[in-house]
Structure formats: structure tokens, C-alpha cells
Amino acid sequence: MSKTTAAITAVGGYVPKFVLTNNMLEDMVDTNDEWIISRTGIKERRVLKPEEGQGTSYLAIKAAEDLIQKKNIDPKEIDLVIIATATPDSMVASTAAFVASEIGAVNAFAYDLLAACSSFLFGMSTAASYIESGRYKKVLLIGADKMSSIIDYTDRTTCIIFGDGAGAALFEPNEEGLGLQDEYLRADGTGRQFLGMDAGGSLMPATEETVKNRKHFIYQEGRTVFKFAVSNMANVAETIMKRNNLEHTDVSWLVPHQANKRIIDATANRMGLEDSKVLMNIERYGNTTSATLPLLLADFESQMKKGDNLVFAAFGGGFTWGSIYLKWAY
Ligand code: UT7
């Protein structure tokens, strides 16, 4: 009997309507369009405006609904909903539980998975394991982040990079050997000082001081994070290729976290890939944290063919990073 693998059988995506352009940011902080494009590759990003009164769940629900409608599935058949995110609606109550109820996945259990920009990548491993074990048949993994809720729009080192969005992927059993093939996932907690948000957790609960000192916004030591990201993302992608005897000609698509075009280019270079195989939408959305990978799948779904070899790679806060090799199933 052939081994059951875990395949992605449907994807969906959503970004908010409001477009925050580089030119608009020029009016908010000391920056310019040319610098942002040349240093990051970003031209614009989407923002869920505060006056809409919605959290990350809103983005996740829209992405899930897009998937459900395209695939025409009955949400009652979904066994598990995982929300990969760095910006849950609130502490304590699971955002995924709310999303599951709202989309009609009334028979599912649900929880959130937090690993900064690697949340979706690590979630792929989690979702696939449930399927491979035979325990569940339909796992909905959603990467969603309302980064604008933790961005300081007076800090030019972060506000130019991040945007809001969500993407969803359905994992189901496959008997043809398609789906997740291999993974190489890493973490190094010494990195938490270089990228994160100081206050609002159990270590530094909210006080008047933390608000006054802008500790509820994300910070990053860009240059240090860049150095770690650029070498580690390339390293893990190279490891996955070697371990699976993949030559550059065998790789159909690189699906890289969208943090900085220069990091993506370095990873693709190390893998020996031409530009046409590198999925990118950073110019339109910026860095949507947990949503970058599934949004790429949603945007480029029509170009993928059954049996295509996809290499995912991500790097994020924590530090957390890794690579996954997956065969496209439809
Ligand atoms: O997704 C999670 C993981 N995150 C990442 O992978 C992000 C990794 N880091 C980066 O992508 C880059 O480090 C940034 C895009 C954040 C910054 O680019 P950089 O090339 O590393 O710039 P830098 O911080 O080394 O700064 C270079 C110069 C500095 O000026 P001086 O000291 O050379 O005079 C900065 O003050 O650029 C200046 N600068 C800016 N100028 C215009 C920094 N931010 C800006 C800005 N506009 N927004």
C-alpha cells in the first residue's frame, strides 16, 4: 500500500482594499520611493484601516471564504482550522476558533500557531502531520496578519516594510505521492533581541510607561536581521535541494517569504534558479508576515501544474526559519 502524503488541494487569498504607496509614506516619515524600491523591492502595501474596526480574523475569514467558494467544499467537513499569525485578534481567546465558527467549520477544532514570519511554514508541517498520520482528512491552514496594528507609522525602519493580508491552504490526503515531501525547520532564540515587540506579553504587560515608550510596536535591527536572513534562507533551501537530490532544473518554483527582494534574490542565486521560477508579489503587498507564502500560492495558482516541485523558504523573528519541499497536486 502506498504511503499517504499531505497535499495542498485548494488555496485562497485576501488583501484589504486600501493601498499605502511609497509616495504616501514620504509624507509620513523621512524616506523616499527610490530608497524603498532599491533596498526592499516594495512599491506599495495593503492596510486594513483602523476605522474599519476589524482584526486579523477578518482577513483570515475572507481568505478562507475565497478558498471555500473556489473549491466548493462544505465547511462542515473541515476537521481543523489553524491560524498562523503574529497578530491574533487578542491574547488568550483563539482567533482560529472564531474564524472556524464564522466560516461554518462547526465540526472543526481550531488553534493559533505563532512563529513570526515562519508561522505558515511551520504550520504546513503541522497540517501535513495530521494528514499523514491518518487522524484527519481536511486541515485548513490560514496565514493572516494585520501588521498595521503593531506598526509605528513614525518609524521609517519598519513602516515601509510591512502590510496586511491573508492566505489559506487546504491540506488533504494524497495517494499519488504528491504534497509535502521533506522539511528542514530551525529556530534560534538568541535572535529575539533583534526582531520583536517588547510589551503586551507576559514578560512586559501593558502599562502607561510601555504605551508612552512605544513598546507595543514592532522593532527590528534591520541590518542584523538581514544578515541572518540572507544566509540562513539560502542555507536551508540548499539543504532541502541536496537532501532530495534536486538540481536547479528540477525545481519548478521557489516560494520565498517576502521580506526583502534582496534576500529573495540571494536565495534564488544560491539555488541556481532563473528569475522566472521565483514567485514574488512583494512589490504589491510588502511583508505580510504569516501571509506571504499562501498569498503567493493564491496569486500564482493558475501557473502551477500537477507534479511541479515547489521549494518554500522563510525566515522570521525568534529567530525561526526553514524550508519545505512540496509537490503540487492539481
Ligand atoms: O520578515 C522578517 C524578517 N525581516 C527581514 O528579513 C528584514 C531584514 N532587513 C531588511 O530587509 C533591511 O535591513 C531593511 C530594509 C530593514 C533596511 O535596509 P538596509 O539596507 O539594511 O538599511 P540600513 O538599516 O543598513 O540603513 C542604511 C541607511 C542608513 O543611513 P546611513 O546610516 O547609512 O546614513 C539608514 O538610516 O539607510 C537609512 N534608512 C533609510 N533611508 C530612507 C533606513 N531606513 C530608511 C528609509 N528611508 N525607510
How do residues 112-127 score in pLDDT, each as one tens digit? 999 999 999 999 999 9
Q: How many helices (H) and strands (E) does the chain have?
A: 11, 13
Judgement on whether residues 85 and 233 belong to the same structural domain of the protein: no
- Domain boundary at 152, 176, 200, which? 176
The pLDDT confidence band at residue 145, using thresholds 50, 70 and 90, is very high
**Which of 272, 270, 278 has its CA nearest to residue 303?**
278
- What average pLDDT does this structure show over 277-302? 98
Task: Give the pLDDT score at 2.
Answer: 72
92: left (phi over 0), alpha (psi -120 to 50) or beta: left
* Same domain? 148 vs 220: no
Both 59 and 172 in one domain: the answer is yes
Residues 149, 162 within the same domain: yes
Is residue 196 in contact with ligand 1, taking CB distance under 6 Å? no
User: For a substitution probing ligand 1, which of 39, 228, 258, 321 has the most ligand atoms within 8 Å of its CB?
Assistant: 39
How far is it, in rounded angstroms, from Cα 67 to Cα 168?
Answer: 7
Separation of 25 CA from ligand 1 center, angstroms? 15
Percentage of the chain lying above the pLDDT 90 cut: 99
* Mean pLDDT score of the chain: 97
- Check pocket membership of 259 for ligand 1, CB cut-off 6 A: yes
Closest to 311 measured CA to CA, from 290, 330, 291, 296: 296
**Of 124, 123, 162, residue with least CA distance to 16:** 162
Q: 163 to each of 113, 120, 306, how far by Cα in Å?
A: 19, 16, 31
Residues 257 and 318 occupy one common structural domain: yes
Q: Are residues 189 and 161 in the same domain?
A: no
Residues 130 and 40 in one domain: yes
Per-residue pLDDT tens digits for 27-54: 999 999 999 999 999 999 999 999 999 9
State what percent of residues in the chain have pLDDT above 70: 100
Catalytic positions are 117, 257, 287
Q: Is 160 in the pocket of ligand 1 (CB under 6 A)?
A: yes
Whether the CB-CB separation of 233 and 257 falls below 8 Å is answered with yes
1 pLDDT more than 70: no
Looking at the structure, do residues 186 and 132 belong to the same domain, yes or no? no
Instruction: Determine the distance separating the centroid of ligand 1 and the alpha carbon of 236, expressed in angstroms.
Output: 24
- Where b means 16+ CB within 10 Å and e means fewer, 256-271 reads bbbbbbebbbbbbebb
Q: Is the model's pLDDT at 272 over the cut of 70? A: yes
226 in ligand 1 pocket by Cβ < 6 Å? yes
Residue that finishes a domain, picked among 148, 176, 204: 176
- Domain carrying residue 279: 180-327
Q: pLDDT-derived band of residue 224, with 50, 70 and 90 as boundaries?
A: very high
CA gap 139, 130 in Å, rounded: 8
Is 114 in the same domain as 199?
A: no
Q: Rounded to the nearest 5°, which phi and psi values hold at 288?
A: -95, 20
- What digits encode the pLDDT tens for the residues 302-311? 999 999 999 9
The verdict on the CB of residue 264 being under 6 Å from ligand 1 is no
Q: What is the pTM of this model?
A: 0.97
Which triple of cell numbers denotes residue 130? 495530521
Residue 74 C-beta-side C-alpha neighbours within 13 Å: 3
In total, how many domains does the chain have?
Answer: 2
Asked if pLDDT for residue 73 goes beyond 60, the answer is yes
**Whether residue 150 sits in one domain with residue 30:** yes
Q: Within this chain, do residues 119 and 205 fall inside the same structural domain, yes or no?
A: no
Are 130 and 230 found together in one domain? no
Whether the pLDDT of residue 11 is over 60: the answer is yes
Q: Is the pLDDT of residue 68 over 90?
A: yes
CATH code, domain carrying 213: 3.40.47.10
Query: Residue 290 pLDDT > 90, yes or no?
Result: yes
CA of 38 to the centre of ligand 1 (A): 11
pLDDT of 154 higher than 60 = yes
Question: Which residue, of 129, 148, 176, is where some domain finishes?
Answer: 176
